[in-house]
Amino acid sequence: MSRQKLLIWLIVALALLNIATISTIIFHVVQEKQQNLPAINTGNGNMLNGRFFRNEIGFNNEQMENFRTYYHPFRVHTKEIVVAIDSLKSRLFEELQEENPDTLIIKNLSTQIGDLHGTLKEVTAKFYLQIKETATEEQKQALNKAFYPLFANEAGPRCQNRRGRGNNRNTKN
């Protein structure tokens, strides 16, 4: 009888070990998926995703939970906006290819694209402020550096010295 009890306890222990192993694997897969949420591309090589905020900004577990809370709705909303902008840009280009493009349609599409781009900046700014609330002073400096390309002058320094029509009127040639 005692041998039978020993075998039963051995089977129970092995079953518990299997359950613990499977649970650990599932936990790590879920955690890895959360870490690898789609990234914000800043255009200068930085991908602002969970891994970036943990490794580069130095967010702790509590800060990462706050990040995930704000990040998912932000990504869903920005993706919708970007898809809408891309669709309008395609329609705009199609109109430009017409034999006789309708300037009213071009103006309307351009205005819609601009409005959506403004909304995208507002949503990004809101996300930045939410993330900034959870950051330490040192982390805020890293956040400023990471988000700067998203709000910087897109023309950049290459356009600052251009002389368009009406510029430099007082210079002698």
pLDDT at 80: 94
pLDDT at 164: 47
Report pTM. 0.61
Q: Distance between CA atoms of 144 and 116, rounded to whole angstroms?
A: 24
Which tens digits make up the pLDDT trace of 36-93? 444 465 555 566 788 888 888 899 999 999 999 999 899 899 999 999 999 999 999 9
Q: What average pLDDT is seen over the chain?
A: 82
- Assign 147 a pLDDT band (cuts: 50, 70, 90): confident
pLDDT at 148: 85
Q: Distance between CA atoms of 68 and 34, rounded to whole angstroms?
A: 8
User: Which DSSP letter does residue 53 get?
Assistant: I
Which tens digits make up the pLDDT trace of 104-126? 999 999 999 999 999 999 999 99
Sign of CA dihedral 71, 74, 78, 79: positive
Are 146 and 46 in contact, with CB atoms under 8 Å apart? yes
Q: Distance between CA atoms of 168 and 166, rounded to whole angstroms?
A: 7
Calculate the dihedral angle through the C-alpha atoms of 110, 115, 120, 121, rounding to the nearest 10 degrees: 110
Which tens digits make up the pLDDT trace of 7-37? 899 899 999 888 988 888 887 777 665 544 4
Which own/partner contact pairs does 10-15 have at CB distance under 8 Å and 24+ positions apart? Answer: none
Are 64 and 53 in contact, with CB atoms under 8 Å apart? yes
